[in-house]
Structure 1
């Protein structure tokens, strides 16, 4: 061990708790050594395939978030997901018009106008809040991840107005399968579990003095709402798609917690 590495008491505390509960788990599960070895080998394949972030997002993160936030006021967070990337373009705002998400000129899909209001726990509007949006395209892919779309397609950020409001023009996302050809898919087969996620928008809100809110927006009537493979759906994050003749509209209000 390097002599210039300082002991981290928090790491020690968490690891001791992990061992305590792991011993209880092993006793209850009654694992044999072959099962343990099979798990280690599968976990090794998971890491070598680069799927550890995917597995954690799909099977673990939602339970972490529920443990942290279920009984707290404010909008419930949902999964960041493995398809977020830094550096999205800023979407410029023209007064009276929605900001337009980064899209190809002939972007396939139904046009969506999604509007929202960002406020604190007392209902005060949060002006100039940074809003990051990203979602999949009509091929069920995310740009920069096994997609033919240009980098940052259907990705961007913008800021709320003086009333904490925003309106963004994009396309309606569609349900998709998580990657299931590697070790994560192997795990799904063990559980006899499908790989589908309901259609959703990813949103991230950042405002000085407030906890960053990372969440998702889902749409009423989606066939996968009740059995999302990642269990990321929250009732308060479901909104309704209204047909406005030529485009769809949806809206939701978001409450941020003080930092």
Structure 2
């Protein structure tokens, strides 16, 4: 069945591709090298990884630059569906004596008009203190540091977890070769992943970053947004009956109940 949007996008890509060929004097050997590298990318199963790291953030910035509310950012390759439900306030599933500093992360969820969004489903996942994700690293139990919870009547939540570590995207395949070509490191700043699903609205995918992280300014995936950076505040453990000091972090979220791009440039992002 004919799809006019596919036709239009393909024709637009051809026009842009021709411009790149002329501007950067790409010859047929260069073109064949590109085809061979793309073939390796596919055979290695890294197409989703490559698009996620090097293109999705630019797509989201362009799609949502004219909208109000919390900015979206990349989903990342480590999302897993159907993780355990936890209470709010609650504890993200973790190992006994989970490595890392204890973190209490809290937030409020409202719509863009300031109305609290009760019973909003929040899917949360993160790397551990060593920068590794459950399901993608050996020795970590399934669903470790992954869970689903719901906002209370005031749109509020709090989760006990650990401060995540920095991690490197895989570098042993064609994506790693690309990083060598562009002379860039493979690291992402520490972050929390959140996927919001309000009762009457569309999902929002975003991430939370922390002040002072060494990779905030040159995240390999360019996923950092200034409005998504929060502060880690340190507290004495005795306040909560803990042996060691702990941290808190907080961020407020504004959801668009129709989370759609707006390409009218007269609308300005209010973040």
Asked whether the two chains share a fold, i.e. TM above 0.5, the reply is yes
Displacement of 1:50:
1.0
Q: Using the alignment, how far apart are the partners of 2:202 and 2:63 within structure 1?
A: 13
2:84 maps to what in 1?
Answer: 89
Displacement of 1:8:
2.1
Q: Is residue 2:135 matched to residue 1:144?
A: yes
Displacement of 1:147:
3.2
Q: Using the alignment, how far apart are the partners of 1:208 and 1:223 within structure 2?
A: 37
Q: Using the alignment, how far apart are the partners of 1:36 and 1:91 within structure 2?
A: 51
- Structure 1: gaps of 5 or more residues: 1-5
Q: Is contact 1:141-1:147 (8 Å) kept?
A: no
RMSD between superposed Cα atoms in Å: 1.1
Q: Is residue 2:196 matched to residue 1:205?
A: yes
Q: Is contact 2:130-2:166 (8 Å) kept?
A: no
Q: Is contact 2:191-2:209 (8 Å) kept?
A: yes
Q: Using the alignment, how far apart are the partners of 1:208 and 1:21 within structure 2?
A: 41
After TM superposition, list the pairs within 5 Å mapping 1:16-165 onto structure 2. Answer: 16-93=11-88, 98-165=89-156
2:235 maps to what in 1?
Answer: 244
1:3 maps to what in 2?
Answer: none
Displacement of 1:122:
0.9
2:182 maps to what in 1?
Answer: 191
Q: Is contact 2:117-2:154 (8 Å) kept?
A: yes
Q: Using the alignment, how far apart are the partners of 1:163 and 1:22 within structure 2?
A: 50
Q: Is contact 2:130-2:164 (8 Å) kept?
A: no
TM-score, with length taken from structure 1:
0.93
Q: Using the alignment, how far apart are the partners of 2:139 and 2:12 within structure 1?
A: 45
- Structure 2: gaps of 5 or more residues: 237-244, 259-271
2:255 maps to what in 1?
Answer: 256
Displacement of 1:47:
1.1
TM-score, with length taken from structure 2:
0.89
Q: Summarize deviations over 1:30-67 as a string: whole Å, max 9, x none.
A: 21011111111111111111111111111101100110
